[in-house]
Every structure is written in C-alpha cells, then in structure tokens.
Amino acid sequence: MLPKNSMKIAVVGSGYVGLVAAACLAELGHELICVDNDREKLFALKRGEVPIHEEFLPELLAKHRGKRLVFSDSIENAVRASDAVFIAVGTPPAEDGYADLSYVECVAREIGNAIHEYKVVIEKSTVPVNTSDCIRRTLILNGVPTSSFDVVSNPEFLREGTAVSDFLYPDRIVVGADTARAATLLRKIYEPLTSGRYYKEEDAIPGPDGAQIPPPLIMTSTRSAELIKHASNAFLAMKISFINAVATICEHVGADVAQVCGGIGADSRIGSRFLSPGIGYGGSCFPKDLAAFRAVAHDCGYEFRLLDEVIRINEDQRARFLRKIRTALWTLKGKKLAVLGLAFKGGTDDIRESPAVSIVNCLLKEGCEVVAYDPAAAARAAEVLPQKVTFAESAYDAAATADALLILTDWEEFTALDLDRLHAKLKYPIIIDGRNLFDPDVMSEHGFLYFSVGRPDAVPKRDIARARKAG
C-alpha cells in the first residue's frame, strides 16, 4: 500500500536530473515511472546498475527499484498512468549559445498524443523563460484541450555530488504555476518535505548541517520560476569569477586570498559560499546556463555585459593557471606531470566542461607526459582524452617520479594525503594546487615548493629540505 497522499508520477528522462528526481520522489512515497528511450540504459537500471556517481543514489535505487520506482521506454503508457509528468531531458547548448530545446519539444509532442484526461506537465529541465508557453502551444497544436492540462515550471537546484541531499533538503522549492489547480497538485507532491513529515521517518536520508527544515515553498508564475533558475546560476557563477579576479589582485600585491575571503564572507549580506578561488567553474550547468541567459537577454534587446565578463574571467582563469605551471617548471616540454582530479568538481564523475580536462589537453599540446588519477571520473575522462594520457590507480602512483603534481579537482580524499609519502614519490617536491586544498605553511613544513591561487608561494624550509636530501 502506498503512503498517505501518494501520487502517480512520470519522469521523462533518466539523466542526472531525471534519475535523481525519480529516486527522491519515490523516497517521498510517490509511485514513479521513469521513462527513457535508451533501452540499453534502461536494462542497466533495471539490473541495478547506477550510471552516475552520486552519494545516496545507489541506496535509493536499491530501495525503491521495482516497487515505487519502475523504468519504461513508453511515454504514452507512463503519461496515461500518471497524474503529473516531469520533463527532465537534456537542453544542451547550441553553437549560438541558445539552449537546444528540441528534446523538450519532442517529449511535449509525445505527451500531447497520450493525454486523455487532466495532467500537469512540469518543466524540470533547465530552460529559458517562455519555454512553458512553447510547451503549452505544442500540446494545443497536438489536439489537447486547454482544460486537460496545465504547464508548471519547477526548476531544480541540484549540485552534482550532493544532488540527493539537495533534493530532499532544499534551500527552497520553487513552483511556477499559473492556475490554482496546478499549484495544489505541486503542493501535494512536495507535502512530505514542506510539512516536515519526511524528516521524522527513521530511515530518512541524513541531511546536511544547517538544513532548513521544513524548506520554504515559493510559489510564482511560470515565467518567474524559469528566470529564477537562470538568474540563480548566473549569480553563483558571478561570485566564483569575482573571487578569482580578487585572487589575481592578491597575487600581484602579496595578499592572501583566503584571508580576504574570510573577511568578505563574514558579511551576512554576502556569505562565504562560492567564494572559492581556483581554476574556474565547469560542469553541465553554469557554462550553458550563462550562455542561454545571455542569449535571452539579447533577444530582449539588453546587452548583459556583466555576464560577458563573468564568462571571460572564468576562461582566463585556466590560462592563468597554465602560466603558473610554466613559472613553476620553467619549461614544459618533456616534463612528467602528475594530475590529481579530472571531474569538474569533487564528488562527481561528470567531466563536462571540466577545467581539469581542458588544462590536461593544453599540457599535452605543450609536450608534457601526463599521469592522472581521479577517484570516480577516470573512465569518463579516458573516453575524451588522448590515449597518451596514463591513468593511475592512486594519487601516489600518479606522483611516482613526476616532475610536479597538479591538483585540479577538489576531491576531499586529496586533503587526507600523506604528505611525507607524497614527497618521497615525486621526483621534485613541486605542487601546483588549482583548488587551494592545502595550507601553504603546512606544505612548506613538509618540504614542498607549493603554488596555489591568490596566495603567496610557499618554499621548503631549509632545514627540512636539507634533512630530506641527506636522508
């Protein structure tokens, strides 16, 4: 028997957003049908394989697969069996920066062909403003009476690596609904969270520190909800680019960007989150969402130059890091470099728009030998990187006899490395840290020549360096 207030829901798309949403909605007690046209992927999901690296997702799929969560290749059957249909297909960027909405349109047509009674169609994919109007028009053109559906925008705010926690313990739930009937249905879907009921269950997924329970439900128009998603990601990317620009100034004047971040982040109006200098943002969201938001602004007749600068700073940050490597090593041709991290961020195996992959490609063009290690993303990276890249089984194996070690992804396990063992493995004790994972003073104590972003370089303490050489 299904829990109280359970609903029947279809999720079209079993990618990152769709699979996490389906698993989490099943966790909230709803009955889910997750639809995908990739039969090989569906068979793998039915066998219990998990296609992405995401904390808590394997547990949820094992718990609900074949019970509250089933997989199908039929949109028609899923729509007819459900009260609500989430569209969670890809919206990749086109060459002109606009989001490619062809998958969304195709799904909308198939949904329209299957509707025989009232349904709520919910945008979960990240889409530009007015997409809800296009979905509505597509349904009407396919013969669906306006009384038989509503279109709702329910943007996701999931961070890769913490997507399950982000879904179940959100900062906010945004629902853009233009009718009371649709709004009521969405409130029912999220009631286990907004009432706090889910958090009282003994087997609830544990939440992060400081989670707001229950989370606020923000009701808006569909267009406002669509804008909230793009504007949120643009603002977060702006914070990253801003602090990277500040880090550049810190390097020129001899200041420590970590101290500057502490002073800035202590201001409650600003906050410390996303004030993390490094080699720039990447992934499947920020780059394409900024491009799409900029394209929307252009269509409105507004030149959003602030976004242009955010993007430029991010691209320049990779070039600056390459210059830092050249400074540390003098020449690059023929150098053996150990690379730690290939995913665009720690906690995920996603390499889309990864700064790490971009930097590795640049190093290969300069004639470097690269030995790389990533806890989760090596297999995906091997599909896109040249075959001459060697993949190691551990950070220490990657470091063996390397002229220098580069840290390109902020995996937590890298912060726990045995620094003495790492020092012994390297040919030269040079570390160039693109994620500021270590304290320069600690690295100096352990005999490293250490370069980071926006902080003074650290040199080995002479007594330690002499002792190691003598040993």
State the DSSP string of 410-455. --GGGGG--HHHHHHHSSS-EEEESS--S-HHHHHHTT-EEE-SSS
- Alpha-carbon gap, residue 364 to 356, rounded angstroms: 12
Whose structure tokens read 């507004």? 302
Vertex 240 angle, CA 239 and 241, to 5°:
95
Q: Is 178 helix (H, G, I), strand (E, B) or coil?
A: coil
- Alpha-carbon gap, residue 215 to 114, rounded angstroms: 34
State both tokens at 47.
């066998």
Half-sphere exposure at residue 7, Cβ-oriented, CA atoms within 13 angstroms? 23
State both tokens at 262.
């502490």
- Alpha-carbon gap, residue 252 to 50, rounded angstroms: 46
Ranges of beta strands (E only) in 13-118 are 31-35, 69-72, 84-87
Check residue 394 and report its DSSP letter: S
Amino acid code (one letter) for 23? A
Q: Single out the residue of 225, 255, 224, 261 nearest to residue 242, CA to CA.
A: 261
285 part of the active site: yes
Catalytic residue among 34, 261, 285, 368: 285
187 burial type by CB count under 10 A (0-12 exposed, 13-18 middle, 19+ buried): middle
State both tokens at 466.
């002499």
Whose structure tokens read 């003994």? 202
Active site residues: 285
